[in-house]
Structure formats: C-alpha cells, structure tokens
Amino acid sequence: MRTWFLVVAAGALFSVPAWAQEAPPAPPPPYSLPWQLRPAAVATVVRSDTAMAFYSAPDPGNESGTTIATTLLGAYKLTPAFAPVVRVGLVSNSPPVGDSAQTFANPIVGGTYLLNLNPSMRLALFLGLSIPVGMGGGNDPDPAEAMATASGVLARSSMDNAMFAVNDFTVFPGVGFAFVHSGFTAQVEATVLQLTRVRGEDVQPDDSKTNLTSGIHLGYFVIPQVSIGADLRYQRWLSTPKFVDADDTRRDVATVAVGPRVHLKLSDAMWIRPGIGYARGLDEPMSDLGYDVVQIDVPVQF
C-alpha cells in the first residue's frame, strides 16, 4: 500500500499540469487567393488557370472574337520559406478576321521567398525568368500563330507579359505585401519586367523594353469555405517601344476582377480552392474592344 502511494505521489509531483502544457500552434488565418496577383504564400500546389476573353472588332461589322488563355503552374515547398515555380501556357484564338490558331507561350521558371513579419503580415519576394521558345516568334512567324500569342496579353489582363513576349528573354523581380487577419486579406504587389530581344530582329525593332505590372487584392471569407475576392490591376510600359510610340493607348492597361472562391479540405494535407471571376478593362484598348473575361481558377494544394 505504501509503495503504491509513493508511486502515485511521485507521478503527481513530476507530471506537467494541464494548464502548463504547451498548446498546439494556432492554424494560420485564412488567406484569400488573388485572381492574377501572385499568392503571398509558399506551398506545394498545382494550379490550372483559364481566362476566356470575349471581344468585338473595332469596325462597323462588330464581329466578335474569342481568346482562351490557359496556364498551368506547379510549385514545390522546399522549405517553409521558399518554393520554386514552373509555369506553362497555351492560347487558343478565334479572331473576328483571320485564321484561328493555337500556340504555346513562353515557359516561366522562378521562385518565391516568404517572410512572415508577424502572424498577420507577409512579405513575398519573387524572381522569374522566361524561356523564349513560345510559338509565333522569330523572323518568319506564322501570322495566325503570332496573332494568337499576342491575343493572350489582353486575355490575361496584361499581367503575364513575359509569357507572351516570345521573342524576348525576360527577367522579372517582384515584391508583394499581404495583411491577413480574421478572414480579411489585403494585398499589394509590384513587378518590373526587363525584356531583351533574342530573336525576331527583322520583325521586332526594339532590342529591349521595360514593363511594370502592379495590383491590389481585397478578399473576405463569408464563411470558412467561401471567400469573395477582387483585384485592381495596372500595367504600364516604362520604356517606349515602337508599338507604343505608334499608338499611345497601348502604353498602359487597367483592369478589375471580382468573384467567389470555394475552399474545400480533401484530406489532412490536401486542399482544393476553385474560383470563378469576371474581369473587365477600365481603359483603352480593352474598353474600346468590349472585353469581357471569365476566369476559372483551380488550385490544388498538397
């Protein structure tokens, strides 16, 4: 009896009381994924993102055209702070006038480095490179393929220019800052693209160009499984390429997008976050051409 009492007493003496035990870490606050800004997050993910653009020709006939620009992204979380990224793209274009065509865009390779400044604030640093092997380039491009590749620019709201500048090698560093708290996300982003021509000198007069893309994203979780998000995006040529010198309406593009997204947990380690958004151009040339863009975005996180 005495032995049993001593064992119980020793256990009570050296055991850690419940109030002193370390609590499990709190889950991160829910983060609203932007539509075309880069996520301020590091994850292993496969993401299919398709923009379907409908527009009209600027002529009395007002014939309509359609461009479908699809990108597929893969990222792998090497460390809690770093993930390399690979992205490829395909464009299918049915113009109001001329032949339809399908083309592959420039592949993109890069990486995201994430700094968690505190539980609510994130700083995401990015560096990307394009591989200039996309279709519709060179000194003797197929006209339909060149038009299809060019059509991807406005279909993607001029935010993925490195993929569609198929004659250029592009280096594009970017930075994003996100505030995430109580189901609310506010994010800003800016990226500078330095494009250097590596082929197509007979048809592309500019040997280099400098471009800026930027944006703001606001999102809110209505319930834990559903969020609503909106982007305001702005793209501007910091240099003056020949096509901008000839038509200043091509200097910059402003767009807005909005839509819902569903967040579904498939397993302990897998999430799917499909969303559908609607985008509209706020100025020329997209406003004059009556662009309506529907985006279907399906990220799967592992």
Confidence bin at 10 (pLDDT 50/70/90):
very low
Structural element, H or E, at residue 173 = strand 168-181
Provide the pLDDT for residue 8.
Answer: 41
Residue 261 has pLDDT above 80, yes or no: yes
pLDDT, mean of residues 208-229: 98
CB atoms within 10 A of CB 247: 11
Percent of the chain with pLDDT over 70: 89
User: Would you place residue 183 in the very low, low, confident or very high pLDDT band (cuts 50, 70, 90)?
Assistant: very high
Bridge partners of 128? 110, 172
What is the arithmetic mean of pLDDT over 280-286?
A: 94
What is the tens place of the pLDDT at every residue in 131-178? Answer: 999 999 999 999 999 999 999 999 999 999 999 999 999 999 999 999
Whether pLDDT at 19 is above 60 = no
Three-state secondary structure call for residue 74: strand
Mean pLDDT of the region 202-231: 97
**Mean pLDDT throughout 170-199?**
98
Question: Which band of pLDDT confidence, cut at 50, 70 and 90, is reported for residue 97?
Answer: confident
Q: Label residue 36 by pLDDT band (50, 70, 90).
A: very high
Q: Which domains does the chain have, with CATH numbers?
A: 28-301 (2.40.160.40)
Query: What pLDDT was estimated at residue 44?
Result: 98
59, 239 Cβ separation under 8 angstroms? no
pLDDT band of residue 61 (cuts 50, 70, 90) is low
Report pLDDT for 139: 96
**Mean predicted lDDT score pLDDT of the chain:** 92
Residue 175, pLDDT score: 98
- Alpha-carbon gap, residue 279 to 162, rounded angstroms: 20
Rounded to two decimals, the pTM is 0.89
User: Tell me, what's the pLDDT at 29?
Assistant: 76
pLDDT score at 14: 45
CA angle 57, 160, 212 (to 5 degrees): 100
